[in-house]
Amino acid sequence: MAVVLGFTAVPTTALPAEPAPRVLAEAALQTPKAQGAAMLAVTRAGSRLVAVGERGTVLLSDDDGARWRQAAAVPVQVSLTALRFVDARTGWAVGHLGVILNTVDGARWPAPLAARTLAKYTLLADAAGKTL
């Protein structure tokens, strides 16, 4: 075992797995009050408006904001702070605790990729001499 700067190096396989915080492990609540949530970002996805905000709320409007509906099955309850679409269907939302969500249909947001997980894969790929 090596000692670096006074710390003992421990193989990552020996570290206990940390449980995910509840806000990362539970889906956003479906509620009629979603339209009153603080929204932190909005963008166009083709003709649709998509807004993200508090507690994993994602709102969709197909009539330029006259009416909004809550997206179904957003897998996290963290605040979502920014989003970007590359076309009418494909987009990403990011939020607190390093959450990255992706949609390929402009409405559903499957399981999140945590930034810590992405960083781990990047480090493993780098150690193997590969790129992601």
Confidence of residue 65 (pLDDT cuts 50, 70, 90): very high
Dist CA 50 CA 40 (whole Å): 11
| Global confidence as pTM | 0.74
| Confidence check: pLDDT of 13 > 90 | no
Domain coordinates in residue numbering, the chain: 22-127
Please compute the mean of the pLDDT values over residues 94-98 and round it to a whole number.
88
Residue 69, C-beta contacts closer than 8 angstroms, at least 6 positions apart = 59, 60, 61
Q: Identify the band that residue 118 occupies on the pLDDT scale cut at 50, 70 and 90.
A: low
Q: Which of 32, 33, 34, 65 is nearest to 50 (CA)?
A: 65
pLDDT at 128: 77
